[in-house]
Every structure is written in structure tokens, then in C-alpha cells.
Amino acid sequence: MSELAPYKAEFLGAAINGGPLSFGSFTLKSGRQSPYFFNAGQFYRADLLEAISTAFGQTIAEADKAGVFLPEGADKDTSKPTFDVVFGPAYKGIPLATAAVSALASLDKQRYGSIGYAFDRKEAKDHGEGGNFVGAPLQGKRVVIVDDVITAGTAKREAVAKIRAAGGIVVAIVVALDRMETLPDAPTKESALGALRREFGLPILAILTLDDIIAGMKAFATPDDLARTEAYRAQYKAED
């Protein structure tokens, strides 16, 4: 883990020690038998939430200050934030968005103090304030979507469509983990992350990748868990 940035190493350590990242045999939606499983819903404890929120905040801040969220060919003025809202798709994305915004304010309140968060409702509310969204208005705003992982990419496509329909401008997607594996039944060795990047032309960033996990496993995992995870990577790793 020494090769990782400190906040990434701390995030990986928290995920392993706290239980969100576990090893064994897990059946994925794709039907594949995975030797590891990542569950962002397990970051419910205060110390674990701090680790994932800091990781999201740092990842977003680094990309923002490097101009990653700006369109190609745009003036690279990064003296002020290059995004306005962090959006979390319901349900797991909701705490991630709020935690990321809080972490950004802790990192640099002057720069990120006015950044908002928003999330969607599974069903539109027909009373009170109504609507399909909660949180910051999206009309005309530059939006970063955050979520745990990209599996098939369906939830991210729905989020992009909803945000655009509300007048928002999606500038990036940031996920906690890139599994780096090919889509089931894909004609090429393309990952879900790569397919979304190609489809929308957006930067898609991950705090950790499967390569990072394997590098970290060498310090604590059993030889069997490590061997099975490396074999899984060799079998399913995408080429994008």
C-alpha cells in the first residue's frame, strides 16, 4: 500500500479492516464468482465514513484543481471550482454525495464552501415541495456524480439522463472502486467504466482499482486469497 497516496491507503485499510471489502466467494449480478466483494453500504460507522468521505473529497479536489472537469479545449482557469454540485444516485450514492461535500469543505472551505449536493428520488414526490430531486438545484450547474462501483453502468446512465433532463451539465463520474473487468457478453474486452467513458465522453475516475487492492493484499491476505484474486484479474481484466 506504500505506493498509494496516503488517503487511498487509509481508505483501502479501512475497507479491509472494517469489513466493506471482504474476500471469499461471491456471486455477482453477472453470474461470475468473484473472490472479493466491495460493499459501500458497510461504511456506516463514523471512522469508516470518515475514510471514504476523505477519499472522495481528495479525489474530486485533485481532479478539480487539475482542470479534469473542464471540457477539452476550454480555458483551464482553475482559480475557482470547476463544478457546482456533487450528485449521488439513490440509494447508496446519497450518503456518498453528502459525505464528499462535507469532506471538500473540510479540505478548503474558501474554495468549496458553496458546493452543493443533490440526489434523486426513486419516485417523484407529489406533495410538499414535490419533484424528482432533493438538494441543490441542477439547472445550469456543472455536476459530478459519485457512487460506489460501476457494474453494468445502468444506474449511471439513468443518473446522467435525469441530470441532463433537469438542465444540469454532467462533467464527471467518480466511483470508489474500478473492478477493471470486462462486461459480460461484450464483443470486446471493454469494461463498464470504459464503455461509459466512450459513450458519454466524460472523465470517469476511481479512488481504487483492482490493481490497488491486489497490491495492498500482499501485506495481509492469505496466499490463497491473493492467488485467487490475481487469477480472477487475469481472466476478466478489461483492456481499456
Catalytic sites, residue numbers? 125, 127
Residue 46 three-state SS: helix
CA dist 13 and 71 (Å) reads 34
Mode of pairing for the β-strands spanning 33-38 and 204-209: unpaired
CB 164 within 8 A of CB 170: yes
Encoded amino acid at 148, one letter: D
- Residue 159's closest CA among 207, 206, 120, 116? 120
Beta bridge partners of 117: 86
Query: Prior bond to 91 cis, omega within 30?
Result: yes
* Residue 162 near residue 132, CB atoms below 8 Å: yes
Compute CA 236 distance to the chain's CA centroid, rounded to the nearest angstrom. 20
* CA atoms of 86 and 36, how far apart (whole Å): 28
